[in-house]
Structure 1
Amino acid sequence: MCGICCVVSLTTLRNPLEESVREELKNRGPNCSQDITETISNPNCSLHFSAHVLHMRGSLTPQPLQDENGNLLLWNGEVFGGLTVGEDENDTQVLLHHLRMVQSASDMVSLLSQLKGPWAFIYYQKMEHCIWFGRDFFGRRSLLWKFNSERSIFTLTSVASQPADNINSQWQEVPPHGVYRFDLEDLGTFTFELYPWVFPNDNEPNHILESKWDGFSSSVSVNINSSGLYLTSPVCPMNTSITPPGTVEQDQNASQTSIENLKGLLSNTEKRQMVNMLIDVLSEAIRKRVRYLPSPDLPALPLNNAKADVAVLFSGGIDSMILAALADRHIPAEKPIDLLNVAFKIQDAKVPPKSSKKGKNKKSDPDDVAETKSNLQSFNCFDVPDRVTGRAGLQELKNLNPQRKWNFIEVNVTQEELKEMRQKRICHLVHPLGTVLDDSLGCALWFAARGSGFINDVTEQEHYTSEAKVVLTGIGADEQLAGYSRHRVRYKTSGLEGLVKELVMELGRISSRNLGRDDRIIGDHGKEARFPYLDEDVVSFLNSLPVWEKADLSLPRGLGEKLLLRLAAVELGLGLSALLPKRAMQFGSRIAKLENNHEKASDKCQRLATV
């Protein structure tokens, strides 16, 4: 995770980068900061580049990284495939080496099409007087843009502060439709040339807006390049078949949800083979995301004091359980794994009442007094649904590998701290998004990723703060495997055809709906969000399957949605977590209960307005 920024101005600026933006960027990249300014005489403009590095791979490499020809690379990403990056190499250096050999737009498109992994980049080609920028196919890394027409300033940045008036913000997320080329020799109109993503064998880009984009000045336009060059999608298109082969026989106990139901489905050889293929491709995606970590220059700690390098956003639900179980395969045995579990204080919770004895004797019974005292001691206002399922999931993981040290971190948030940090930090990170849903999820993610809480062992409660730089998150599972309740509604109203269309839409909008925001939120702690379910090979495998192999929404809730993943959980040896129905983070953590119950998720959230 890095913070990158570029400011293009037709005039020389004394302070081209707002101090608030610089601080946001430095939070993302605490290990190294550097600024470089370039001046171009024809046309007369200045280019200011600012980069802040979070050291994740190979040797610490300051950015912007410049080659002998004066080209500059600002890279916020991870190369997990497509280019060969040794375990001791830095992928920024490897990528710049390849960019140095780019001679044409065709070369650039070919190179970027090879990359697998999350990325956002800004690349200045000095001799060509142009800037390339963009995000990966899914938009897993944040990149924002803004054009100030009054001052003729164009800015690209990983993160930006919300303006004090909350109204006149021009920040937008750069749509991950492709990569953009900005010709600095034609600054009169600020025209961006788009090289869009297309699926293999397609001849035309889909869902690309031409000409002026909403929210931008009339002097700014985005046009699809006239040369017909496209980037090749790193994933295969979704299988849209809607006719299952033959009649699917339903188990007579299909109305029940039990581990035995899932084991019965696994008795089918073809189904079991498919499940193991999913486990293999997902396991490899996780392996790549937990191995590429820098070796600290500190003396080794005793095993019982070792710190985790990897954390999992953990609710005890099936998505996070599988991430933890597969991470266990690839993380050294002596290393703990941090399980981040967030809960917001239940404001209207009541202490469980003492039991009442039958009869007319109203005198205090010693047993009643003891029971009431016990209830008061055991009652916890942070025992939200995700905390309860998280503890159960922890026990399943301990059963799976008793030798591993699993740090179940109870992140407890009061309403007072929530209000304080929302105004101080979170509202700026969520921006330019601003709905009630963005508020709920953004706040829950920010506190969870901070990783400051308590670990309860047998004897005492210990304060603990996770130092893991890698945070695994389960986003992408529901979008691909029909995990949301709206998928079940669509299936009931429109059948498999409607469900397929819904899943295509889900994956297409996941960047603007989730990923940019989540990247900004988690990155604020100097940590890197990694999304194994959105690994290109995982998505391609799931896209290759017909929808009825991934989910069967004729089966009850807790079984039919994400069916393939539930079968994988049983195959991995997990227990009742395989049957937990989907529970959104804002409800599982109870943050949604703290606010106005009459709000809609899509409403503009007034709490995100700065005071």
Structure 2
Amino acid sequence: MCGILLNISPNDNLKFFQNEYKEFKENCPDALLNSNNDYTFSNLMKLISARGPNFASLRTLKDHRISLFSSVLSLREPFCKQSVLVEDRYVLQFNGELYNDEIIHNDTQFIVKLLLNTEQNSKGIISVIKNLDGEFAFSIYDLKNKRLYFGRDPIGKRSLCYYLTDANELYVSSVSGSIKGFKNCDAGVIYEYDATNKNSPLTIFNNIFEDFTINDKSDLEFKSLQKHIEELYKVLYNAVRKRVLSIHPTHIENSPIAVLFSGGLDCSVIVALICEVIRNEKKKAIIELLNVGFENPRTGLMPKDTPDRKLAISSSYILQKLYPNVPIKLIEVDVPYDEYLEKRPIVIDLMYPKETEMDLSIAIAFYFASRGKGYIQTGSDKRIEYRRKGIVLFSGLGADELYGGYHKFVNKTPRELVEELTRQINNIHDRNLNRDDKVIANNGVEVRYPFLDEHVIKYSTHDIPINYKINKLILRKLSLEMLHLDGISEEPKRAIQFGSKSAKMTKDGNKNGTDKIK
């Protein structure tokens, strides 16, 4: 599933005029989107519908004064409609992917089973959420106790936000647009809304999951480096494997796996690991590398001249040579300045409440890359138009936070690096993930983050010595020794907004990244 939206009002309201349930096999029709007399809800339905192009439903429960709108991107079989009525006890909305070993088919049905076999109270709901392994956001409404529970996974890989009005009316949504009052949900926090309490209905359960703390030990003689390289490879491989194999086989064979691809170290490691999984599991799959470049009037550069485009061409060539039996296509997503200006207001709306120049330059790069409308090379300097076919996108986000990839880390002492990396990984939900998921999912795709797998994070934070994380030493060694990415392993870190030239697009180049958008 890809879109969650609900509204609960503690007060009598004419919008709850009946109990009903409506289904739509494709995007929600405009007639319905414009029929709801709640302005906020109607506007959010349009954004939620874009996230899940395969199915949508609207459920209203008059006695509970609740409306739930859900949209679905179909990736697993059997197909599971959302929202889910769980034996007249709960109404469940689930957005994400789970990788628990116990799951045989559909992950939503796995949650249903857990709900039916636990205590029917807040303690039981919390125990269910703690048992989930994956990237997700959720809402669970308890029909008996009139309580709503909602939140995000402990890393915050799926976006979710809420708005509690002055009248204690609640909205919960995967994306808010620029509607004032919405707040991003914190990662790993469970929110409880008591619809029977008209004065103070919202309770926040913190400390459900442990924060990630970076190991402060050093191995100055590098005695255990090789062991850690091999162990890191194992956990990363497993993280990629379960994210590849949980896509239903018909999708893998008939719809490519896409990767947000700058050509740098992190995304190249992910591509190589996907190829390793495909080869070892004897699967057939095409890999689409989505590389974006902008026409930048300030610098005079065209998309083909951007640093990330040049790097992507050379890195994709290396990967194609390493894995000749896996079809790898580099999609060159060119963004003319006129189209940048056209889509700019849409991206600003999607990424709210983020509103800085830096957020825009990153978000708009991901927006165009995930849309995947570009070109592929077919011969000597000849390109043909090509549109991304993969609906699952992989991202290398998280490697810089785990292995010390940012330039500002270079001169820090070990203690300073421990503090900074701990802060970075525990804040990635607010700094990156909410914004990125809102923008990317608007193109009807799902993004997956192997570096942000909980097992990868736990191993990387708890076990790897801090001096292995200076300039991503351990990941560079892994890419060279385990994946043979010669020519890529030493590539320096370059932020997407600078590599794609989506930052400082106009001649008014004195803007700072922290400036608010005007």
TM-score (norm 1): 0.76
Match of 2:410 among 449, 470, 488: 488
> Equivalent pairs: percent with the same residue?
30
Q: Which AA in structure 1 matches 2:236?
A: L
Q: Distance in 2 between matches of 1:124 and 1:529?
A: 26
Contact 2:154 2:209 in 1 (8 A): no
Contact 1:308 1:338 in 2 (8 A): no
Q: Distance in 1 between matches of 2:170 and 2:436?
A: 24
Q: How does 1:35-434 map to 2 (within 5 A)?
A: 35-40=58-63, 46-81=65-100, 84-86=102-104, 89-103=105-119, 104-149=121-166, 152-163=168-179, 169-190=180-201, 192-197=202-207, 231-233=208-210, 237-241=213-217, 244=218, 248=221, 270-296=224-250, 308-331=255-278, 334-347=284-297, 382-423=304-345, 425-434=346-355
**What's the offset of the Cα at 1:295?**
4.7
- 2:474 corresponds to which residue? 564
Q: Distance in 2 between matches of 1:79 and 1:50?
A: 22
1:33 and 2:56 are equivalent in the alignment: yes
Q: Distance in 2 between matches of 1:516 and 1:93?
A: 26
- 2:13 corresponds to which residue? 12
Gap runs ≥5 in structure 1: 164-168, 198-230, 249-267, 301-305, 352-379, 553-560, 607-611
1:466 and 2:388 are equivalent in the alignment: yes
How big is each residue's C-alpha offset from its partner over 1:326-355, in whole Å with a ceiling of 9 and x where there is no partner?
A: 00022355321000000001436679xxxx
How big is each residue's C-alpha offset from its partner over 1:211-249, in whole Å with a ceiling of 9 and x where there is no partner?
A: xxxxxxxxxxxxxxxxxxxx243x7643133xx35x64x
**What's the offset of the Cα at 1:20?**
2.3
Q: Distance in 2 between matches of 1:547 and 1:384?
A: 36
Q: Distance in 2 between matches of 1:439 and 1:548?
A: 33
Q: Distance in 2 between matches of 1:476 and 1:482?
A: 10
Contact 1:342 1:413 in 2 (8 A): yes
Q: Secondary structure at the match of 1:463?
A: strand
Gap runs ≥5 in structure 2: 16-35
Q: Distance in 2 between matches of 1:442 and 1:130?
A: 35
**What's the offset of the Cα at 1:105?**
2.5
**What's the offset of the Cα at 1:196?**
1.7
Q: How does 1:480-519 map to 2 (within 5 A)?
A: 480-489=402-411, 491=412, 495-519=413-437
Contact 1:59 1:90 in 2 (8 A): yes
Q: 1:588 to 1:58 in 2, by over 3 A?
A: same
Q: Distance in 1 between matches of 2:495 and 2:154?
A: 25
Q: Secondary structure at the match of 1:551?
A: helix
Q: Which AA in structure 2 matches 1:85?
A: I
TM-score (norm 2): 0.90
- 2:22 corresponds to which residue? none
Contact 1:309 1:468 in 2 (8 A): yes
Q: Secondary structure at the match of 1:525?
A: coil
Q: Distance in 2 between matches of 1:401 and 1:566?
A: 19
Q: Distance in 2 between matches of 1:70 and 1:432?
A: 34
Q: Secondary structure at the match of 2:62?
A: strand
Q: Distance in 1 between matches of 2:469 and 2:212?
A: 19
Q: Distance in 2 between matches of 1:549 and 1:534?
A: 21
Q: Distance in 2 between matches of 1:67 and 1:105?
A: 16
Q: How does 1:525-544 map to 2 (within 5 A)?
A: 525-544=443-462
Q: Secondary structure at the match of 1:18?
A: helix
Q: Distance in 2 between matches of 1:527 and 1:105?
A: 32
**What's the offset of the Cα at 1:550?**
2.8
